[in-house]
Amino acid sequence: MSTDQPPPGEPPEDDPFLKKPQEPTPPSSGSPYGSPPPPSGSPYGSPPPPSGSPYGSPPPPGGPAGGGAPPPPAGPPGGGYPPPPPPYGGYGVPDPLAGMPPLADMGKRLVARIIDVLVVLIPLWLILFAVGVALPTDTDQSGELTDSASRWLGGAFLLWWLLYIAAFIGYDWFFTHKGGQTLGKKAMRLRVAMLDNGSVPPSGAAAGRAATLWVPFFLCCGLWWVIVGISILVDKPYQQGLHDKAAKTVVVSVP
């Protein structure tokens, strides 16, 4: 699969993940709402008035002077107005999920995320072990770390924290932008797709999605994942987490 991404709004025609087009049901000929056209000569579907009378009844004898007042103009009969449009599929407004694969199961999304975390953490732990051996641990006579050793460890901790953030954001961004699938999602047969057309997320959307997921997690606490999980469960009908809403994406199943 090519990693070249199209300009925003112009996914490539050969993208196998694009939504399958579904044409809305065309309305019946002659009627903007799919109902039969009214009989000729009447805007409301009632027969035209008899010739010589603008109100559909014989003229009063003698005109207004004979005591016959003209009746008021007839209004449209009951039920003559079109029904309100349905939420999707009518008036040329398609369902945003029409033609897209089914949304991903929440359990599969959780397993895929655990796999992705392990894929990133295991190499980081190995690096941390190697770096920890080389860090200075000089102590004074009381057994406390010297000032120089404390500064080294403080700087190393900050550098390590920034490395964690960069590693997780970079991993999610790269694989999501490349084909819509991290290693965990590929294992669980899931994919990230743009909600509007089902294409692979462009670079900007993939980066925003990854940053919204991981930056609050490291700046705040692990509860951010709980908040994201709840947002997926309660969101209808697209099951979007807060990171999906930021990037306008959904997670779908793939064959």
- Residue range(s) defining the domain that contains residue 203: 106-131+166-253
Enumerate residues 6+ apart whose C-beta is below 8 A from 245. 231, 235
Residue 222's pLDDT band (cuts 50, 70, 90):
confident
Closest CA to 248 of 3, 235, 111, 117: 235
Helices 203-219, 223-234: inter-axial angle, 10-degree rounding: 130
Which pLDDT band holds residue 97 (cuts at 50, 70, 90)? confident
Q: 74 with 55: CB under 8 angstroms?
A: yes
pTM: 0.60
Residue 231 lies inside a defined structural domain of this protein: yes
Please tell me whether residue 108 adopts helix, strand or coil conformation.
helix
Question: CA-CA distance, 143 to 61, in Å (whole number)?
Answer: 122
240 DSSP β-pair partners: none
Q: Is 73 a member of any domain? A: no
Does residue 171 lie within any of the structural domains? yes
For residue 118, is it within any domain? yes
Per-residue pLDDT, averaged over 53-63, amounts to: 52
- Name which of 32-36, 66-70, 104-108, 153-157 the model is least confident about: 32-36
Give residue-wise pLDDT tens across range 161-210: 888 899 999 999 999 999 999 999 999 999 999 998 899 999 999 999 99
Whether the predicted pLDDT of 105 surpasses 90 = yes
Q: 225 falls in which pLDDT band (50, 70, 90)?
A: confident
Percentage above 70 pLDDT, the chain: 52
The mean per-residue pLDDT over the stretch 53-68 comes to 52
- Mean pLDDT of the residues in the chain: 74
Domains in the chain: how many in total?
A: 1
246 domain-assigned: yes
Query: Is 56 inside any structural domain?
Result: no
The answer to whether residue 226 is domain-embedded is yes
pLDDT band with cut points at 50, 70 and 90 for residue 21: low
The answer as to whether 216 is a domain residue is yes
First to last CA, the chain: 16
More confident residue, 59 or 226: 226
DSSP assigned state of 145: B
> What six digits make up the tokens of 173?
């961004």
